[in-house]
Structure formats: structure tokens, C-alpha cells
Chain A
């Protein structure tokens, strides 16, 4: 989240699309209810289903799964054509005025530079026009036809309310009503927050769904405001922490882009990743990349990382290709991976196309499952009737299960969706021989290290030199790990302006990433977590909930990354002169000499407004991007593309261009394209989701959760049920081109049949949580049905829109 959970209470409008927080985040959702109760806030929901969030909403509009960009593009068109913009904000704080390269173009669904064969773009024209001064050219009147504002306006002019109705199936009047709600927050003293989750990410255009909302919030001036921003609601209590720490293939901790095989040495690697400011006077904070990266190398390799060896750059692994989940399982399926450590992960259940995943696992020599539970994955080889119809004799994979402790059985931190890192204390011992994950990994590492020390090997340095300075090497404590992640000074850190002034003494914990250096004098395991364990101690364990501003900022509760800042881009909550847009919700203001207010400034603290340092300090432009340059795979302005399995024959936005039917830049493996079904055989749109009674594939093991929602079901609308002769409670069989599941039918008024592009479209809703292991009724794995294709940028699979057929079982 750009803001945080409690801040939702400051909103005037809570717009929920691509998520269902009442269902998936009931505790955080309390703040939406608070806003309704105490601020008279309105809650608006757009979703394929009238869901639990909709049950307490002021307004609900239906939408066809996978058509979000058409809807949001329509909102952008509405805002621009009705002049519902926060003008001063758009002009000063976005790249609306920036001029775009003359070579950039968009024609019938395809942007300039497309390579059909490779399914990717040459993005060299998706850039600003550069002036002779080395900075991007702008037209502050916003009139130049090549300026971002005009290009954006022209791009979305096609998304009329009629087109929205045609593509999304949302009735025009419902769409316009939603637009009115959203447009009301263009006023300087009205704020909308957007809450989304996997309903936006799990599409082949997932990242662009979210880009649309980022653009809308910029146009409305809602970024950086209390009660504003974009709330990415994370699922697991610590999934934010996982991404921060990089359990993500393309990144190092703190979202540092990982080196790949084209990065031959440290110098060129750093050069590629250290941007130059694109406008005068901007902070261009990513210019500090070398400090963050070098401090990370020092945390990992300590004294062995020296200027002479490029701070151990050569010891870091270099990615040879994509390492996302789909890529890994595809490689496994092709027999290119033969060993698999599966830690806290249940891929047989959670990765699309269960048959392909099962076949992939069956091609391994060995698999080690580290988990507190006997997961479905750990028994992928074992027949469980029709739920897991396999022949063990044909599966050579040797499976080891190592029982791990659960989160309540060890200490550590959780980082919540609002980036607040909170220490948690162990509540109970784990059962039997269960060990903490850290202990298991430490044991593995120490054995590997001993083997390398004894036997040598092709490349022992990265293992032998790794820092492992824990009191008990076999049991690194969570406290030691957090101290290491925070980092410390290895030599005295001095003020660059006055080298006689020592800022941090050698050996001390670092107070913030402003102290990081690229000369090897600091170590830091994750720059954005710097400050979490300073000389003051464990800041994540702070539990002072005092809230002097009444905004819910609670700066002494836990520690929010970065630098305990609660609202990102908070400089944008004040106008160019530093006066808050809304004094009632002051986050930051210029006091005459410094930035003050109710948060840690997202700005150089003494940057006077006259200096023209713009609020979006993480961009080299200093401003928010309506046009995302070359940073996205499928285009600098989001465009509607159909899901890979669509009920329509073509993309109604580009009916005559088959290239533009689905995301032209999405990666599709051979075999998976052929496994897509068509509307002829699978006429109904399916979407998968979570239920409040369960958490992913864990809680089916818990008796009380099983009591609350004991058995797999699917939801279908009354019209489809009538057509198919299905009654509530009937057992039904749902088929996709990849397999089938059986479940109990829930027939509901809450899923409406939509009229899309002149065609009736029925939606079938499928909860995910069930499987053949656990305390719930044994059932099928929902991901038997889902397609093996992902978003073009993140490769997050398209679980939210595909095709099925349904009949009485």
C-alpha cells in the first residue's frame, strides 16, 4: 500500500475493484467501516460477483472478469472529458506536460516497435523528447499534441461509456454512476482510496490494471494524501515481507534489480541501474543504487568483499533467464530441473494447470518439502481417488518431508500490507521434531560449506566466504537476523559535507539508509529495512499507539519502511508552495525552514518549495507517470486486451486485428497455447477466489475452519442454473480444456448474466481452498482448471479469467 490500513479511515470514497477485502482482509476492512461510520464515506464496489464487500457497499456495479482496463480506461476518459481533474496537481506533479518521442505510436491495439515473432516490443520510441540541456522537454500548457496529456486523452477517447458497456457488460448507467462517485474526489478536499488485491494482479494484463488506477489517482490528485493512494492488499500476513526480502526471482532484497548474465562486471551493472535525473533539481533517489547494492554485498560477504574484487560481484548468481514460478515449473516439466526444495509452498494446489505441475514434479529425482503441514504437494504421487488420480509406480521422484514450525511457534517479524514491520513473539513450541525454517536452512548451508571446504569444487568461493557470524551458527536467531538486515557501520560514517563530523561510529547499528555508502564502510541486508533495528534497539517491537494527529499515523508503533514513513509520496499532499491541499488532513507542510507535519517527509527535509523538487523522488523525473516510458512490457499506456481464454471471438476494441486480441507481449509456452480452450467448447467465463472462512490451502487442515466451510462449491447465477437444470446443492462437474473438478452448486442472484458485445456471458465462480488433504471434505484442486499463462511483466498467472463448461455431475 502507498498508505496503510488505518489510513483507510481518512477516505471520503473507498473504491474496491480487483479485490474483496471483506472476504480476504476482514480485519483491515474494519477501517473502511470506520470511514463509513465516522466520515460518512461512501463504499463503491466493482466486481464480477456481488460479494461480501458489496454486501456493505453504497453502490455495486458488475463487470465481466478480465475487462478491468476497459472499465478504468472509461473512467480516465470520463475524468478528462468532464474536466474532473485536480489541475494544479496534474500539471506540477505528473508527467502530463512531458513531450514524447515522435516515433512513438499506437495503431489498432499495437504500440510502436512490436515484434510478433518474439512477442515483445522494441521500446526505443516509448521515451521523452530530450532537450539540449540533457533534460526531458515539456509543454506546460499541455497543448502540444506530443505531450503526455494529449496522447493520453486521445488514447482513452475510444473508451466511451457505450464501449465500456459493450466490453465489460456493465450497464452504462451503472458505469456512469461509478464515474460520478470517483470524479467527486477531484476536489482538493475530497479523497478516494483504491483497494485491490489478486483480482487485479492475476490477469495476463495484471500490472496494467493497476497502472490504470495509478493514473486515475494522479489525475484526481489523490496520491500522497491521507485517505488516498493505492492499497495493494497483501494476502499472507507476511507476503509483503517476502517480496521486500526478495523471494522473487528478478530482485535482490529491497527491490534491487538482480544481476543477470549480460552484466559482466560491477561497474557496468551499476551504471545500467543508476539513473540520471530527467528534470532539473530532482532528487532522483535511485541515484543511490550503488550505496544500497554495495552495502548488501558487505552484509553478505563482510571482509571478503573488497574494492579489489568488486565487492564480491562475481560471487553473486547471474540470472540466465526468467525465474518466475511459471518458468520454473515449465522447465521442470521439460525435465530441465531435477531437484526441488519446496519451502512453505504448495504448488500442486497453487500453480495453474495441476496436471502439468503434477507431471513436472514427477520428472524430478527428488523433492524436499519443508512445511508445517503434510501438503497436497508432498503427496502429489499418492492416489487419492479421482481427486488425485495418479500411478505411484510411474513416479520415480523421491520425496522428503521436513516438518517446520508455524509462525506462532517462532519469533520474527511480519510486514503488513501497509509496510509496517511488526515484531512477533513465539507463542508455543512446535510439535515433535518440527524445526524453525532458519534452523533447517542453516543446517543445509553448514553441511554444504563443510563439503566445499573438504572437497573443493568448481566454484567454492560464494559458499565459503558467506558471512555467517551468528552466536549459534546452526541456529541463527531472529534478533540477529533483523540486526543484520538493518545493517551497521563497518567504519566511522562521516558527513560528506564535513568529513570531521562522524555521523555513525564504527560498529553501531545504522539509523537510516541515508547513512549507506558505496565504499564498503557500511553493511545492510536490505536498504528499505534500514532503521528497523537502530542503536535505539528493535523498532519493530514498539507498541506505542499514541496518535497525536488523529489520522492514525502512530509513528511509534512498529516500524514502517522506508524510514518509518507511513504515507508514500506525502510531499504531494501539499501544493507547490507547501500548503496542504486539505488542512483537515495535513500529512506534510512547509514550515518556512523545513518540512513538518504528521509523517516522515518523503522529500529532502530542507528542500524549500522554490527549489522545485517534485514529490515522486523515486522517479528520475520527480513526478508521477501517466505515461510509463519503457518500463512496462506491453505499452506505456494501458490498453484493453482479452484474457487468453475469452468468450469473445476477438477484442471488441480491435475486432480486425487478431494480434491485439490478448496481451501481445505475454509469454506463452509451447503446449500451453494449445491447451487454451475456446468458447465453442467452454462457453462460460470462470474466475477463482478466496473465502473468508479459509486461508489458501492451510486452514483446510484446521477443524474449526473446516466446520465453517466444509466442502468445495462453485457459484453460478440463476439464469445459467436454469438453462442447465442445476439446483442449489446439486453436485456439478466443471471442465476446462485442462481437466475437471466436481463441487456443490451454489445458485445465486449475486452473479448476473452480462450482455457483452452482443452476446450473453455467464460467469462461474470457483473458490480455491480445497484439496485431497485436510480436515475439510476431500475435494478437487481448483487449479486443475486454470491456464498456464501470466502477466507480461510479473508472470502472475491468469487465475481470474478463463473458460469452462459446467453440467450436473
Chain B
């Protein structure tokens, strides 16, 4: 949120062209699963930097806690016990937003400026514009955004855009004791990953590789995996993530209709705003969205 308009590549539900003048390096966070010990320092650092505290939960018979991402847990470790080549492995993956180059959440979002993609690759939620519709949840191929029960707004990892804006690595990177989370230009991260992959191959992980899925245009959070041929082993990391057909539909066929409808709403809103103030506008947009939703479903049914 601390980046400036010059750094914005695209905004949700906005057709204004993005800025072109500033040179920006594409960044990435690299999570080397083979060096991760699952200590949760990243979970703690994320909570502390962003001033969010999840509930004190319960043990559910596994090491994972909190059990899932939430509006107050933007990253969680997922622990999986697998047997590969007659060898037990405890795969520990730090889950959170992947910061896709082609972000399904942004594509799906009908609220102008609620989701921003910066030129450096960070996909950020601007909650003040969020209408809580949950389309980003549907749009995300990684099942990351969560809607808060308290304020009905969507939350997820911001890749510490506020820190990155002032040349600081994200809090999780800073806190990682083993250097399993690295941060830098996407190019440097790919070079670093290549070295790690070579090391893993020497240690007998023939299928080690980089996870930077092209179905979403590549990601700005990447993984080094021992078994890059089976990302599903890592608590269901999708092998070929792509944006939901629902969203494509929304963007392709339904969107023009929706845009028309939204334009109507916007006009109505303006009138409304002048007469009644902003609060109920969002309600009206929400209703409109529901109608759009119904429309989209009907189209899909055909």
C-alpha cells in the first residue's frame, strides 16, 4: 500500500491505462522448501509486522496451527508426511499469496482499485475499496484470499509492499533463520533456485525443480521443490494452476454486460452519494454484483 501510483501496473475494475515511465525491477520471493524447518518464525513475523493476531485455537492432531489462512493469518505452514522412494519425508510448505503475474483475484474483482498489481509484481489488496464480494476467492487458483467475518473485507499477504517500497525485504524473509526464504529480483531468485536445484539433484532428488507456474504467467512467490514433478505432494500445491473458467467468463463474455450494468450503477451511485452518502452505495453495488453473479451463472449453465 505504500507504493505510489507511478508503480501501479493494473487496478481491478479499471480501464485507465497504467503508467509507463518508471523503470521497475520485477521482484520475487523464493521459498526453498528443502531448507525450511517449519519453525513458523515467518508466521510470527507476519503477524507482528502487520499487527494481526489470530485466535488461540486448538490442536487438531497435526503440527499445523493456525490450521488455515485467515483474515488474520496471511501465511501458514503446511506439514505433510509422505513416503517417496521408500523414504519418509516430512514436507513443510509455507502457504500464502503467490503474487501471480496474471492474478485471477484482480481479474475477478469488480470493485475499482480494490486489487492492485504493482510493476514489481506485487499483488496488493486495498481494503478501503473492497466490497467483500468474495470474487477474489473464486478467482484465485491457489485458494488464498480470506474474507474477514469482522469487516467483510478480503485479506491476504501483501508481500510486505510497505517494506519493499522502502527497500526492505518482507518480514517473513527477514525472520527466516535458515535462509529458506530469499528475496530479490525475479531473475536473481531464478539463478539462486538453479543452484539449489543442482544441489538437490546431487543429493538424489532427480525431480527437483523450480515452481513458477506459467498457467498464471509465472508467480512472484516461487518454490524450490524436491519433487517438482509432484507439487501436489506439498499439501495440494496445484500442478497446473490457471484462472477459474468462471473468471474468464466474467472477463470475456459477461464483463461487457457487467460493465454496462456497473456504469448504470455508478450513475445511480453518484446520485445516491449526493443525496444519501456513501454507506448504502456499497450495498447497492453488492446487490448489483449479486445480479451479475446470477447472470454469469446463467451464462455458464448455457
Does A609 have its Cβ within 8 Å of any Cβ on chain B?
Answer: no
User: Considering the chains assembled together, what is the distance between the CA atoms of A727 and B57 in angstroms?
Assistant: 19
7 cross-chain pairs, A with B, having the tightest CB-CB distances, nearest first: A728-B61, A729-B61, A22-B37, A711-B59, A55-B90, A744-B59, A26-B177
Residue from A50, A53, A750, A775 in contact with B37 in the complex, judged by beta carbons closer than 8 Å: A53
Q: Which residues of B (181-224) have their CB < 8 Å from a CB of A? A: 196, 199, 202-203
How close is A609's CB to chain B, nearest CB, in angstroms? 40
* Contact yes or no, A709 B88, CB < 8 A: no
Q: Is A583 an interface residue (CB 8 A)?
A: no
Q: List 17 A-B contacts (CB under 8 A).
A: A23-B39, A26-B178, A33-B180, A55-B91, A56-B34, A56-B37, A56-B178, A693-B65, A704-B53, A707-B55, A707-B65, A710-B57, A713-B61, A729-B60, A747-B61, A750-B90, A775-B56
A682-721 CB contact bits vs B (8 Å, 1 = yes)? 0000000000110000000001111111111100000000
Contacts of B61-117 to chain A: CB distance below 8 A: 61-63, 65-66, 81, 83, 88-92
Q: Which residue of B lies closest to A709 (CB)?
A: B65
On whether A55 and B38 interact (CB within 8 A), knowing A750-B90, A776-B56, the answer reads yes
The answer to whether B89 touches A22 (Cβ under 8 A) is: no
Which residue of the partner chain A has the closest CB to B43?
A708
Which residue on chain B has the smallest CB distance to residue A43?
Answer: B203
B239 at the interface (CB under 8 A from A): no
Per-residue contact bits, chain A 21-61, to B (CB 8 Å; 1 contact, 0 not): 01100110110011011001000000000101111101010
In the complex, the answer to whether A708 meets B83 with C-beta atoms within 8 Å is: no
- Considering only CB atoms and an 8 Å cut-off, how many residues of chain B contact the other chain? 40
Q: At the interface, yes or no: B287 with Cβ under 8 Å from chain A?
A: no
For residue A37, which residue of chain B has the nearest CB? B199
How many chain A residues touch B (CB < 8 A): the figure is 46
Is the Cβ of A704 less than 8 Å from the Cβ of B92? no
Report A-chain residues with C-beta under 8 Å of the C-beta of B179: 30, 33-34, 37
- Contacts from B to A (Cβ < 8 Å): 34-41, 43-44, 47-48, 53-63, 65-66, 81, 83, 88-92, 177-180, 196, 199, 202-203
Contact A713-B59, Cβ < 8 Å, known A707-B65, A748-B81: yes
CA distance A776 to B55 in the complex (A): 11
A749 within 8 A of B: yes
Question: In the bound complex, do residue B90 and residue A54 qualify as a contact, i.e. CB atoms below 8 Å apart?
Answer: yes
A730 near B: Cβ within 8 Å? yes
Are B90 and A30 neighbours in the complex by a CB distance under 8 Å? no
Are A692 and B90 in contact, with the CB atoms below 8 A? no
Which applies to chain B's interface (DSSP): helix, strand, loop or mixed? loop
Asked if B59 and A55 sit within 8 Å, CB to CB, the answer is no
CB nearest to A693 among chain B residues: B40
The answer to whether A692 and B39 have CB atoms under 8 Å apart is: yes
The smallest beta-carbon distance between A22 and chain B, in angstroms, is 4
User: Are the C-beta atoms of B40 and A708 separated by less than 8 Å?
Assistant: yes
Does B41 contact A26, Cβ atoms closer than 8 Å? yes
Contact of A746 among B39, B48, B59 (CB under 8 A): B59
Given A33-B179, A707-B57, 16 new contacts (CB under 8 A): A22-B178, A23-B39, A26-B37, A26-B177, A27-B177, A34-B179, A36-B35, A40-B199, A40-B202, A50-B88, A52-B38, A692-B37, A692-B38, A693-B65, A710-B65, A777-B58
The answer to whether B39 and A26 touch across the interface, beta carbons within 8 angstroms, is: yes
Say yes or no: A692 contacts B40, CB within 8 Å.
yes
Q: Is the CB of B44 within 8 A of A704?
A: yes
Taking the nearest CB of chain A, how far is it from the CB of B22, in angstroms?
Answer: 35
